[in-house]
Amino acid sequence: MTTEPPHGAHGPRPLDRRSPLPLWAQLSADLRRRMEAGAFRAEFPAEHRLTGEYEVSRHTVREALRKLRAEGLVIAERGRASRLDTRRIQQPLGSLYSLFRELEGQGVEQRSEVLRLERTVDGTVAGHLGLVPEAPLVVLERLRLADGEPLAHDTAYLPAEVAEPLLEADFGHTSLYGELTRRCEVKVTGGQERIQPFLPDIRQAWLLGLADREAAFAIERLGQAGERPVEWRETVVRGDRFTFVAEWSGDSRAVALAPRASCPSS
């Protein structure tokens, strides 16, 4: 058995029996919290252990685990103990992040297959970056691999006037933002991002190893250095390996709803 502290980030929290939220839902939420804090890496607790920790019935435990299995967080196979789905990558929302650093920080070996690194012209992308349609761009297209398995198809466009030195970089095992800072002295400090469900085209599905009509996440990002747009990125991420995590409070801003056809403004 694992030896986790009874309290703290890894330990269980008491369930509120006066809450209108069912006990199984509270239990599911607390197990999810413990997972995100790094608990259960060695093994996932058996049902009888959870009934004792939370002082609930086995039926309550099974209903909570059913929810976690449906979300793809826990794997249950006949004849074997339940375990975490360690292939799933967690990504924070509402913060500037580098996929390279996030994967490395979660102990996932990451590398990239560079599909394209060249100068190009794209009037639509130039518009997102606040440039004239014929402005030269640098495009970096990569297949991102996590522990050797396809995770994301990533295409980033940057103004050539600032990103020209990137054409000499080896992006097999390094981050775009890191190279942008080192070679171009440009640091991405913020931006906007839109995430939505997406059906990949034939090429993207083949690259990511997805079945026909299998959904993924599409991410559009406008990265800025101060007030200046310096990156337009289009990423398709496997839905079965990626989880977005958000923190919120009573002071959090409301979500802005936008028409499907809209894009983040440049």
Domain boundaries, the chain: 23-84, 89-245
pTM: 0.62
Query: What's the CATH code, domain 89-245?
Result: 3.40.1410.10
**By mean pLDDT, which of 42-46, 48-52, 98-102, 227-231 is the weakest?**
98-102
More confident residue, 65 or 8: 65
pLDDT bin (cut points 50, 70, 90) of residue 44 is confident
Nearest in space to 141 (alpha carbons), one of 131, 128, 154, 132: 154
CA–CA separation, 65 and 77 (whole Å): 13
* H-helix or E-strand spanning residue 101: helix 99-105
Topology of the domain comprising 23-84 = Arc Repressor Mutant, subunit A (1.10.10)
Q: Is the dihedral of CA 216, 35, 176, 111 positive or negative?
A: negative
CA–CA separation, 135 and 266 (whole Å): 15
CA–CA separation, 98 and 48 (whole Å): 40
Q: How confident is the model at residue 40, as a pLDDT?
A: 78
Q: How confident is the model at residue 85, as a pLDDT?
A: 54
Q: Is the pLDDT of residue 3 over 50?
A: no
CA–CA separation, 229 and 54 (whole Å): 50
